[in-house]
């Protein structure tokens, strides 16, 4: 088995007295898409926040390239190559599409390469090129989500954390977004950890998946095994 890029071990997370995660363990191997599915409140966003350095966690609970990053501040986690696209996108509404993309590269000094990366990303998301001079607040929900993902890619992450990319989108836009996400590992050699309520769509592009219920991983494995499990089918795939 390949060494994991990310290893989560017995991770607990708390908001004050409330415990949101209980002993979560999972691994993410380079260049795969791993989906975490679960209902509202299961702890999916909390898991991503822990990985991204936005929550206090125990030392060694999260290892990246074999090194503990659990408890490191968010900016250090980013500089190690982990990018989070949070729930709700958070674009700069009065900046154009192109300006929003460039903001993603703010910590890079390699100007010519940034332009090449923008061209590459516009190949994956052609709508961003068509809309490059448009203010981001005028984008549709799906276009905005593509821009948020594109902006995160411009930081040249090794690991992309996506929190509910399908929220608020029409079914057609959801299909489009997932098609694009499925292409990222191969096109850009980036590993994707995807958190989703839309289990069917997430499982369709993932290599492996974990099911989170009330803060616990209740099932994980390769995507075919997870999708074929009767309980998963019943609870998340509409029977
Ligand atoms: N800042 C907070 N303070 C207190 N409790 C919180 C906080 N953020 C989340 N929680 C609680 O932690 C639990 C897990 O929340 P989390 O946001 O991780 O769920 P989720 O799986 O992402 O849900 P959704 O699908 O609705 O986004 C929920 O019960 C939630 O109410
Ligand atoms: Mg969430």
Q: Report pLDDT digits (tens) over 63-117.
A: 999 999 988 888 899 889 999 998 877 899 999 999 999 999 988 888 889 999 9
> Residue 136: CA atoms inside 13 Å, Cβ hemisphere, count?
23
Cα separation, 81 vs 76, in Å, equals: 9
DSSP result, 74-133 = HHHHHHTTEEEE-TT----TTSBHHHHHHHTTTT---HHHHHHHHHHHHHHSHHHHHTTT
Cα separation, 126 vs 123, in Å, equals: 5
Ligand 1 close to Cβ of residue 43 (< 6 A): yes
Domains and CATH numbers, the chain: 6-92+158-236 (3.40.50.300)
Residue 178 tokens, joined: 């997932």
Entry pTM: 0.93
Q: Report pLDDT digits (tens) over 194-232.
A: 999 999 999 999 999 999 999 999 999 999 999 999 999
Cα separation, 15 vs 64, in Å, equals: 24
Residue 41 CA, ligand 1 centroid: distance in Å: 5
Ligand 1 close to Cβ of residue 198 (< 6 A): no
Ligand 1 close to Cβ of residue 20 (< 6 A): yes
């Amino acid at each position: 088995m390949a060494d994991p890029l990310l290893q989560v071990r017995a991770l607990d997370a708390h908001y004050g007295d409330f415990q949101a995660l209980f002993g979560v363990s999972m691994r993410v191997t380079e260049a795969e898409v791993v989906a975490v599915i679960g209902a509202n409140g299961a702890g999916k966003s909390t898991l991503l926040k822990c990985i991204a350095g936005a929550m206090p966690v125990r030392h060694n609970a999260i290892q990246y390239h074999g090194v503990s990053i659990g408890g490191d501040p968010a900016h250090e986690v980013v500089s190690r190559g982990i990018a989070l696209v949070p729930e709700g996108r958070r674009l700069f509404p009065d900046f154009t599409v192109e300006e929003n993309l460039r903001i993603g590269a703010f910590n890079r000094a390699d100007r010519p390469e940034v332009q090449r990366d923008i061209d590459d990303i516009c190949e994956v998301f052609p709508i961003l090129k068509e809309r490059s001079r448009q203010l981001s607040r005028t984008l549709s929900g799906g276009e905005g989500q593509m821009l948020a993902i594109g902006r995160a890619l411009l930081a040249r992450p090794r690991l992309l954390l996506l929190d509910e990319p399908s929220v608020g989108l029409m079914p057609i836009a959801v299909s489009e977004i997932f098609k694009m996400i499925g292409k990222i590992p191969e096109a850009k050699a980036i590993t994707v950890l995807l958190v989703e309520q839309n289990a069917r769509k997430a499982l369709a592009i993932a290599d492996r998946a974990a099911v989170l219920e009330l803060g616990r991983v209740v099932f994980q494995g390769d995507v075919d095994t997870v999708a074929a499990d009767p309980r998963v089918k019943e609870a998340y795939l509409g029977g």
